Homo-oligomer: A and B are copies of this chain.
Amino acid sequence: MTWASVPPGSDFPVENLPYGVFSADGRAPRVGVAIGDHILDLAPVLDEPVFAEPTLNRFLGQGRRRWQQIRNHVTDLLTDPAHRPVVQPHLLPQASVTMHMPFEVADYVDFYASVDHATNLGRIFRPDQEPLTPNWRWLPIGYHGRAGTVVASGTPVTRPCGQCKRTLEAAPAFGPSERLDIEAELGFVVGMPSELGKPVPIDRFRDHVFGVVLVNDWSARDMQAWEYVPLGPFLGKSFATSVSPWVIPLDALDAAMVTPPPQQPQPLPYLRDPDVWGLDIELEVRLNGHVVSRPPYRAMYWTPAQMLAHMTVNGASLRTGDLFASGTISGPDRTQRGSFIELSWNGAEPFDLADGTTRTFLQDGDHVAIAARAPARNGVSIGFGEVTGAVSPAQLDPRVRG
């Protein structure tokens, strides 16, 4: 029980305590922890310089023992009423602060870990083939994305221009994407680096990964379809990837750990996990305020621990700030699909919004919000805040003629 005021149903009870970077009163960005509708300004309370930094990176690099120590300390400060007089002056209303990118992204990797999403996309993009490629159930497929265009929640997303080729036309044309989409994902934030040439064993997941953010991997499906063979997605993804302002510590998700779906064939030994890193996290995708989907993370085929073990098994090193995302989260039901290309079956089946309009892909001005909730300790549930973004019209630069 916290002495701080936490409204019923808040995303941020004391069992959560996610970290973010905020600014207020014209001062430089610094680290805070969410509690109810407030944010705790950590630097003056803990007197630790890492929390006066404009990103979480230095704290993330300090490792798991330190993460636990600080979490225990902050929990104590917010539960023992004796600390109230000292702490309360440093609780600022979240409504009064500006949130920033919580960490500086080192490398960004995006996986493809939902069997329902991969099956749907395979059917749409390669209708004449088996929807899952032969490697899909053997390894978590992933690729590197553009770290430099991972942006803070709320950053407007300009509709990208590029080459697309319509099926019946012989040549591609240049113009704004007509199939702008979202991907509702979770992202895993690496704190502790690893050495080049040394794989991270699957049971060391918790030593390296600090926490979880919401990710919206904006996607231009028409550009992606034209460019992605043979080297994978590039401009169809690299214009923007939004992340939520709050990083939920893995330590807040213990009660959300569930057995992942059965894997057949049995994975190779380096992908066999002694722990259960399925996560009972339900996302919610809202378009202009209307819920369009509720993707369940617990349906994901590959776990984040498997992704990390795979990503490093060749000796690739980790850096503090590495972000690896799950890929679109989709469940087996139509109402659980985490992208518009699946919800509208590549535009063939427009879906309804509660305001009476329909959508296939995003329109200019559309506002997307992705949220999530998970069970936590003490029988409460916690939330992830939101990752949001609105679509701005394409800017046709006269210096860049199509």
Contacts and interface: CB of A to CB of B under 8 A. Distances in A.
Contact of A231 (B142, B147, B318): B142
Contacts of A402: 268-270
Interface string A206-235: 000000000000001001001111111111
Interface SS of A by simple majority: loop
Contacts of A122: 230
The CB with the most chain B CB atoms within 10 A, among A146, A269, A402, is that of A146
B139 A268 contact: no
Nearest to A151: B196
A313 B147 contact: no
A314 interface: yes
A395 interface: yes
A270 B148 contact: no
A20 interface: no
Interface size, A (range): 35 or more
A196 B160 CA distance: 11
12 contacts: A107-B147, A126-B230, A138-B171, A141-B230, A143-B231, A144-B146, A155-B196, A161-B199, A199-B397, A228-B231, A238-B311, A238-B314
A232 B235 contact: no
Interface in A387-402: 392, 395, 397, 399-402
A198 B231 contact: no
B112 A231 contact: yes
Contacts of A233: 143, 231-232
A316 interface: yes
A316 B149 contact: yes
Given A138-B172, A148-B318, A201-B397, 20 more contacts: A135-B226, A135-B229, A139-B227, A142-B231, A151-B196, A158-B196, A158-B197, A160-B314, A160-B315, A161-B199, A161-B315, A172-B268, A197-B392, A198-B395, A220-B314, A231-B232, A232-B232, A232-B233, A235-B313, A309-B400
A100 interface: no
A155 B315 CA distance: 14
A145 interface: yes
A402 B309 CA distance: 12
A107 to B, nearest CB: 5
A3 interface: no
